[in-house]
Structure 1
Amino acid sequence: MTSTTERVATAWPDVDTVPASRLRGVPVRLLFPRAVRRLPLTVELPDGRLLGTGGPVMRVRRPEAFYRRVGASGLIGFGEAYMARDWEADDLPAVLTVMAERLTTLIPPGLQRLRRLAVRGVPRDELGGQESVRRNVSRHYDLSNELFAEFLDETMTYSSALFEGPASWETLAGAQRAKIDRLLDQVGAGPGTRLLEIGTGWGELALRAASRGARVTSVTLSREQRALAVARVADAGLSDRVEILLADYREVDGSYDAIVSVEMVEAVGARYWPVYFRVLEELLAPGGRIAIQAITMPHDRMRATLNTHTWVQKYIFPGGMLPSVTAIEENLGGLRITRRLSLRDDYAETLRLWRERYLERVHAVGALGFDEVFHRMWTLYLAYSEAGFRSRYLDVWQFTLGRQS
């Protein structure tokens, strides 16, 4: 088996090297002060100048490198500039929340129309075919079970919790179980239910469904996740009720009374959303129900970024694409939404707790073989995600689905 140190890149070519062309940075050098001058931020430059109207502090330590990176790669360059320490923030989620709240107005309208000429398209090998999905999933979820264990709670649940009161580390495991239980309630999971889970995670949902008496088939493309989930099921004495397969959702057959899929549709790829929902419909037994949990973005922003390669895709979730609620509704085929619940505020709190726990455990993460650039990348990813929900740019929904009558 490959070691964690070998699996994690120690060479970051696009972080280590500043784009050579000074011309790339000229537009950003001119536009950046204009873009931030009315924001409730304090932007500190090395020469002592302060930009913005006051608020969370962003320190641009290496302006020329920052301008060139953003000029060359847009938001990818913005993220790489943070990874390279070109800029810093004491309260990273707060800075990113201010920007996310004004994402559509930071760039002048005239330049926004030229956006498609500058941004990069999604690489063909990340577009969502079965082999590319296997590679994409492995790049994130097979990093290391030990890494995820450092910042997730005891349930090893990597999706939004559902809090019934104030959120704290002490309440997180219970809130994750509450989220899972609501999904299982929505599909009527109980004794004898034939339940399919698409996207195993580390097994908590399968365990809770089986403890209700359901017979569970769960599929994942992550070898690391499957290994730990199988071990957890065995330790709980539920191996006779749970089968965990290393398989793509398109490879599943059979008929199921209940189907549950938590934050999986985001990894499918936009061109495969119709396939995903058609597979769910084909696998659902008559009278059965489906519950999915899905992160969504505004429909107009989804359309604008549909073929754009983003920082998150490059470094965190290759091939990922967040749908809009409209996109989900348009791709349901013969299914319909019967109930829906937003967990937006719950996800912001879930991410806050993960980020704080990760920062507390950063030395343990380093001992696993993850370097400083990875640490800054992961910190930015968690803060960036939290900011998306706090700014209300992102949402996350539990949808209950049934067949159209």
Structure 2
Amino acid sequence: MLYYLLQPLARDGGVLNLLNYITFRATAAFVTALLLCFVFGPAIIRRLQAMAVHQVVRAGTPDSHAGKGTTPTMGGIIILVATFLPVLLWARLDNRYVVLAVAVTAWMGVIGFLDDYLKLKQKREGLKNEGLVERYKLAGQITCGLGLGTYLLLDPISTLPGASTTLPFFKYILVVPAVAWAAWLYIPWVTFILTGVSNAVNLTDGLDGLSSGLVAIAVLTLGIFAYLIGRVDTSAHLLIFYLRGAGELTVFCAAIVGACIGFLWYNAHPAQVFMGDTGSLALGGAVGAVAILLKSEFLLLFVGAVFFAETVSVILQRTVFKYRRRKFGLEYAQKHRVFLRAPLHHHFEMKGWPETQVVIRFWIIGILCAFVALSTLKLR
């Protein structure tokens, strides 16, 4: 909005000429998001506390989490407000990359909000706090993925084929379907990535500050890729595909990073508020959408390595448990688990690591993975 209001004045030169630079608007979006968290965060937290929107402690979590049942949730509202307003102020709203990223984030945020709201409603009515029925939640995520995949396939937003992606460590290698009809497989591919990443971030959201910190690291990394891919000169120098207009995603990513760091002010241990599914599903959707739009889905193996490990730990734990229960009986299966608890962060808690130690060490791993992802720009 500010871009369009002040752009005519920027043509005359002067300080407003900074609006023409993505780096300036990305920095402005980051600072704006951070300030919005500080300004509106306390009021939103007080409101959630007054409404008794408390965290539902998941079954199977360590006993140390029992006291978190009085901490308000749905704090993802803070993240969404602090993301969307800066994007509206500083990003170019005629850019389809930004519009699609915002649409996916909002869609996933609505699904998460419905889940959190139903948990609150069920709690007040004395019912079991299950929230949104799992199949309905999954249906909403799949619908979002199908919509995004279909749009990108039928109306590509870059000069690259809609049904295509790139590979890390390889220069100018474009993965495309071998035959024309197989292009439709791109739609379930996008659906799988979007649904998987949003659920992976949701699973990781189990410790104070864990998800918000890891998402900030991952999105910052993707923002750097968006900026480099969106420039003719840098993309040519690094031997990567140039995507015209993709650089505008840098503003979107900067807003998310600012919102996550601002939210971390209240979410750090001991947390004053949790993001809930409202925040975790929205942030997961944002991470997945940016990677898809940049044709860099395989980069998520590095950028989202911690999220991937958390998801694999849950799948492995459940699969092995069911097999051993069927093969050897329930008592044997309960005594011989792959992990002490799943997701993975609870396993280390059960091994005696303090919550803050688990969070910081996972952040460190996230940072290391981010550097590995950035190294793919030169190691080609």
TM-score, shorter chain, exceeding 0.5: no
Using structure 2 for the length normalisation, give the TM-score. 0.25
User: Greater share of helix residues, 1 or 2?
Assistant: 2
